[in-house]
A and B are shown apart, each in its own frame.
Chain A
Amino acid sequence: MVDPRVAINVGLVVVLVLVPVYSATTGDTFALTLFTRVVILALAALSLNLIMGFGGMVSFGHAAYLGIGGYVVGILAKEGIGSGFVQWPVAVAASALYALVVGVLSLRTRGVYFIMITLAFAQMIYYVAIGLDRYGGDDGLTLYHRSRFGGLVDLNNKTMFYYLCLVLLLASIYLVWRIVNSRFGMVIQGARSNDRRMRAIGFPTFRYRLVCFVIAGAMCGLAGALLANHTDFISPAMMHWTRSGDLIVMAVLGGMQAMFGPLIGAVTFLLLEEGLSRGTEFPNLILGPVLLLVAISIRGGIDGLIGGVRRG
């Protein structure tokens, strides 16, 4: 008998692969746009889940890396550097650097203090972005050209761009799986369970968590670069704290202990949001209580619901 969770995951991937086919045959290009956004935000939620679900580090400022990644692409594009081969690595590096700074200062704190201080650092970069008059400030900046990859792949082709995002997402899921199941990952999860014991055994947990934090930031920076290309627009709103809240919702909704959790969460949350917006003029009247219900009743997110709750 097939494990229902594996079936759902495989089914989901199949559906995602077939989206452009559906879009081409029915002429519904909106579906392609919507699912590109889903895949990109799933990547961001995946990076958050690495530190949050497995590392126990609840970051309320993760959208900052979406913003940094996006802004690097936008700023470089405006300054005349249009090559994706330069933009994207710089975006990832810049996000990793900011994650390093934030991590060094924040990882000394625990629990809610950690949540607050990560929120604070995201707010700081949000206000910096608003202050960047040259790059649009509060109004944002339009990208007139997407990242160029010199003939390798044309990002203006929506289908190609979608498959690129999907490949990056699946590769990242694999990467996270490898990280979590490695010795490094075991230390991280052990530190989540009982940090003091891990340190007593002899692991310098601060260093491990910092590396994990930086990896998560870098991955989210990549998502930011993708997002900037997708919307052809960057603005401080990318880093607003409610965006960080959305990412947390996606990770928790899908199930924090599962590799495919963030993807399930992203699909559910964004489709729910989209569906409700069409069905009613007041979507959050339903979405809000749904989130509350999920918080109250479902342990382990949707994945936990499918697989049967294993932990209390």
Chain B
Amino acid sequence: MLYFIEQCLNGIQLGMLLFMLAAGLTLIFGIMDLVNLAHGSLYMLGAYFAATFAQWTDSFVLGALLALVATAAVGMALEVVAIRRLYGRNHLDHVLGTFGLLLFFNELVRLIWGPAGLTLSLPSEMLNAVQVLPGLFYPLYRLVIIGVTLAVALLLYVLIMRTRLGMLIRAGASNREMVGALGVNIKLLYTIVFGLGAALAGLAGLMQAPILTVQIGMGENILIAAFVVVTIGGIGSIRGAFVASLLVGLADTIGRTFMPDILHAFLSESAASSLGRALSSMMIYLVMALVLIVRPEGLFPATSK
């Protein structure tokens, strides 16, 4: 039972990291109608910046903060230089263009930082395990990840629901043309939204860096998962992204952990093991396929049209 709770915590942690990525994606998609395959590159840059700045400043926190600023800056610069020329085009042009950007960023990172990955080390206190429940110890850093991302999610909620900027964002997701017609500086809004998405992606990247990896192409796998989340949650909906992220995070983690054991009841050891691995990798796609068949617009679609 305790093991199950531990895996649930892992699932929530993964879900929250996915939410950071998916929130940005769904905003960019909902407001600018842009399919951004380069979002994973911003995630990667966040991790790389954090590893480098942490090394320079000898502080994890300072490195992280600087990386956030740097990633947001790169995001906004990217929007002004390249992304804004893709607005209004069909999604295929977006796929083509941002795919080119994805290739470009992978190569750029290889040029600047080399082909081998980097490491980002934590302050030693973070590595300790904390007693969450009687008998259950959980790494402090993973709790920090859950805590920080929940706090950011809350801030995002406040921003979207309670501020003027958030109101413009919600209006833009509902009906783009109207917002432009009402005289709002759409260009600035778009740049800010893109920068916000970039910062969120960078945050996810730098936070998972100490426990997972900092390497070229690290954004690609999680990007697909983030797209799955956005699709399940409904394009343009932050609330949908939140629910879907947790759903996907838990489904993936619980699936990977317990699928072989469940199958073991019916099949031999080796068959259960390999089939289990294959099935659990497919888990999030099966969930998405199911949702799309039942509710093709996603769980909480934002657009009124």
Contact = CB atoms under 8 A, between A and B. Distances in A.
B6 interface: no
A245 B37 CA distance: 11
A112 B289 CA distance: 14
A128 interface: yes
A290 B228 CA distance: 28
B101 A288 contact: yes
B82 A292 contact: yes
Contacts of A245: 37, 95, 99
B148 to A, nearest CB: 28
Given A115-B91, A116-B288, A120-B228, A284 B107 contact: yes
B96 A249 contact: yes
Contact of B99 (A105, A108, A111, A249): A249
Interface residues of B, number: 46
B147 interface: no
Given A111-B91, A112-B235, A295-B86, A124 B96 contact: no
Contacts of A132: 274
B155 interface: no
Contacts of B181: none
Interface in B174-230: 220, 224, 227-228
The size bracket of the interface on A is: 35 or more
Contacts of A115: 35, 91, 95
A172 interface: no
A120 B289 contact: yes
A138 to B, nearest CB: 11
B166 interface: no
Contacts of B86: 295-296
A27 B93 CA distance: 41
Interface of A: 52, 58, 60, 105, 108-113, 115-117, 119-121, 123-124, 127-128, 130-133, 241-242, 245, 248-249, 252, 282-285, 287-292, 294-296
6 contacts: A117-B288, A284-B107, A287-B100, A288-B100, A289-B104, A292-B100
Sorted nearest first, the 3 A-B pairs with minimum C-beta distance are A288-B104, A291-B100, A131-B278
Interface of B: 29, 35, 37, 82, 85-86, 89, 91-97, 99-108, 110-111, 220, 224, 227-228, 231, 235, 274-275, 277-278, 281-282, 285-286, 288-289, 292-293, 296, 298
